[in-house]
Amino acid sequence: MRQTFILLILAVLALSAVLDARLYPRKGLAAARARKHKYQDEGEAFVVLVAGSNGWYNYRHQADVAHAYHTLRNHGIPEENIITMMYDDVANNQLNPYKGKLFNRPHGKDLYKGLKIDYKGASVTPENFLNVLKGNASAIDGGNGRVLETNEQDRVFVYFTDHGSVGMISFPEGILTVKQLNDALVWMHKNKKYSQLAFYLEACESGSMFENVLRNDMDIYAISAANGHESSWGTFCENDMNLPCLGDLFSVNWMTDSDGEDLKTETLEFQYELVKKETNLSHVMQFGDKEIAKEAVALFQGDKEDREYTEDFGLSASKSVNWPARDIELNHLISQHKKSNDLAMSNKLEYKINRIRETRRAIKKNVHMIVDKLFEGESEE
């Protein structure tokens, strides 16, 4: 009983840490794939992309969203159909040795070039995100005010990447709870804001945002990077570009697949199964209306065959150095400390490393003190 309580408290306190804080494209395979239905393009596809973090050590989230933007544009989603939320403090960060550039794989394309961002800085909030989804322009605070203007003929694709914990996902200031997200999705369904909606979520414990919550009768299909009880993973960590982890494992996997395929001949179900296999450090999950998984990816990500994307796919994300999301800052500092030949820089890095470790020890100590007090006088079981 006592040990179980300790684990429960540690899980809850992981929220504070959150707030601080093998894939080869298969050219030709998609064309030979048996389809379960005829491809039909009805209505338009609209997209919302969100990087919910800020700070240098969260580099990967903004690189993920920049990659997603270009993937969708290259597949024919119009610029005016994509709404992007990103704090935008990484590409031009003073720590960035490649000023004004973002990379999602080592020595890949600069993904910051051509990226259009609608909500930056303080306007990247859970409230704005929900109002964007619901098309509530009058309630928007900051940004350029763009919201989804969709109807029952349109399809919506939402991609969110950031930190998370059980029943919540993070924003630079504040959190979005599972109830808030589900309420918004229910409202969208009730008010006929889409014909079908696909939601890809990258975060620790991301499965908890949909498990036993998302109904299967709302024409929504969701995929999470992890189940409700585990970390998601950063990828291309400890790279030779002197950068933090460049991407997230689940995210890089689905985008690399989309980059290399004719999406008119690939179903969401096939992409899910492929990405699930390649994301080998967490359990990729699916929720909601599984019939939507039989639809073509193109209906949500664009039906133009991507001939502009010429990235070298030889480097597999799952075979690179991957770190648990919550340890990325600490692991990156340790890696930088090992490589540093500058005494002053080494001392600065060592200070940061020790501060993180001391904070973690203090949290653990306080948890045990609280539990000891609560169970004072009871025998150990």
Q: What string of pLDDT tens digits covers the 381 residues of the chain?
A: 555 555 555 555 544 444 444 333 343 333 334 343 445 567 899 999 999 999 999 999 999 999 999 999 999 999 999 999 999 999 999 999 999 999 999 999 999 999 999 999 999 999 999 999 999 999 999 999 999 999 999 999 999 999 999 999 999 999 999 999 999 999 999 999 999 999 999 999 999 999 999 999 999 999 999 999 999 999 999 999 999 999 999 999 999 999 999 999 999 999 999 999 999 999 999 999 999 999 999 999 999 987 665 455 445 776 778 878 677 777 767 766 567 687 776 677 667 767 777 676 666 656 666 766 666 666 555
Torsion angle of alpha carbons 261, 267, 270, 273, nearest 10°? 110
- Determine the Cα–Cα distance for residues 212 and 180; give it in Å rounded to an integer: 15
Q: How high is the pLDDT of residue 68? A: 99
| CA nearest to 167, candidates 182, 188, 148, 150 | 182
Q: How high is the pLDDT of residue 352? A: 72
- The one-letter amino acid code at 28 reads G
337 is catalytic: no
Tokens of 380: 């150990």
204 is catalytic: yes
* Catalytic member of 75, 163, 237, 332: 163
Residues 6+ apart with CB under 8 A from 243: 59, 96, 97, 98, 103
- Are the beta carbons of 2 and 378 closer than 8 angstroms? yes
Question: Over the range 292-310, which residues count as b (16 or more CB within 10 Å of their CB) and which as e?
Answer: bbebbbbbbbbbbebeebe
How many residues are listed for the chain in this entry?
381
- Determine the Cα–Cα distance for residues 232 and 360; give it in Å rounded to an integer: 19
Q: Give this prediction's pTM.
A: 0.83
- Are the beta carbons of 162 and 202 closer than 8 angstroms? yes
C-alpha 175: how far from chain center: 15
Q: How high is the pLDDT of residue 337? A: 58
CA atoms lying within 13 Å on the CB side of residue 220: 25
| CA nearest to 283, candidates 272, 292, 294 | 272
* Catalytic member of 61, 67, 75, 204: 204
Spell out the alpha helix ranges (H) of 140-292.
178-190, 249-259, 268-278
